Amino acid sequence: MKICATCAVEYAEPLPDVCPVCADERQWVPAAGQLWTDLAEQRAAGARLVWEETEPGLVGITVEPRVGINQTAQLVTTPEGSLLWDPTGYLDDATVQRVLGRGPVLAVAASHPHMFGVQVEWARALGASVLVNEADREWVGRPDPVLEYWSGRRELADGLTLLQVGGHFAGSSVAHWSAGAQGRGVLLTGDSVFPNPDRASVGFLRSYPNKIPLSAAVVERLASQLGALEFDRIIGNFGNRIEAGGREVLRRSADRHIGWVRGDFDHLT
C-alpha cells in the first residue's frame, strides 16, 4: 500500500501513474509530478496524531506535521459506538487504542474522496467497516473486503446518521449527530458545505483550490435538504466551524451564493 503525498489517499499496488483524485479538476498534481509515501516513511519523518476533545462525545484528530490535505478527522462517540469521520492519511497504534478505549467503532466514513485518507488501514486496525457512498465507488484506490457501499441515508446509531447530499462529489455526504452541541445538533460536513474563515457563513464549491463554484440549483437543493434537519453547529473537515445558528447560516449563505451566480449583484462588480 502506498499513499499519495499530495492528498494522502491510499492506493493498492500496482500504483497508477498519477493519483486520480489529484488529477481531477477539483484537486492538483504538484509541478514536480506525482509523489508517493507510506506509513513507515511518514513515521520516520516524525508524523504524530494530535487528539483534541472539542465537546462531550466529539474528538478532533489531526496529523502534525501535516500529511497530504491534512484534514481533521472527527470521532463521534454515542452509547452504541463511535464513527470515525474523514479519516486522516496517517495512523498509529497509540491512537488506535485510544479510539477503541471509547468503545466499539461502528464505521469509518469520509464526506467525499478527498477525505478517504488511509480509510482501509484505519478500519482494519479498528475492526470496523469503511462506508463509501456508491456514487463515489470509482474513486476508491484500495479495494478491500472492509469496504461497504451505501446510498441515500444510513443510520449508524440512534441520533447518528449519514446523508448523501452530492454537490462537491456526486456521493458527497454529511453526518448528522442529534445529541451534539448539548442536544441542539451538530452537522459534520465536507466541501459541499464549507464553514468559512469568517465563522459566519459557509461556501459551496466544486473545487476549492481551483475555485469552481456549484450552480444555483445545486446549492438550493443542498440548502433545502439540510434545512430539514435540526442542528445548531456545523463542523467542517479542517476543524473550521459555525458555533451556533448553523441552519440559519446555511440558508443565508445559500441565498447569497445563489444571488451572486445568478447575477443579482453584478452592479457591485
Instruction: Find, among 76, 74, 56, 72, the residue nearest to 64 by Cα.
Output: 72
Residue 228 pLDDT: 96
The Cα 223–Cα 174 span in angstroms is 13
How does pLDDT run across 202-248, given as a tens digit for each residue? 999 999 999 999 999 999 999 999 999 999 999 999 999 999 999 99
163 contact partners, CB below 8 Å, separation of at least 6: 152, 153, 173, 174, 175, 176, 225, 226, 229
Task: Give the pLDDT of residue 136.
Answer: 98
Distant-in-sequence, close-in-space partners of 103: CB < 8 Å, separation ≥ 6: 77, 81, 82
The string of pLDDT tens digits covering residues 154-177 is 999 999 999 999 999 999 999 999
Report yes or no: 102 and 201 within 8 Å, Cβ to Cβ.
no
Q: In the chain, what are the domain boundaries?
A: 2-268
**Residue 246: per-residue pLDDT:** 98
**Contact assessment for residue 114 and residue 21, using Cβ atoms and an 8 Å cutoff:** yes
Residues 39 and 24: their CA atoms lie apart, in Å, by 24
Nearest-10 Cα torsion for 27, 32, 34, 35: -110
Task: Quick: pLDDT tens for 214-227.
Answer: 999 999 999 999 99
Phi, psi for 125 (deg, rounded to 5): -65, -30
Band (pLDDT 50/70/90 cuts) for residue 127 is very high
Place of cell 449519514: 162
Fold of 2-268: Metallo-beta-lactamase; Chain A (3.60.15)
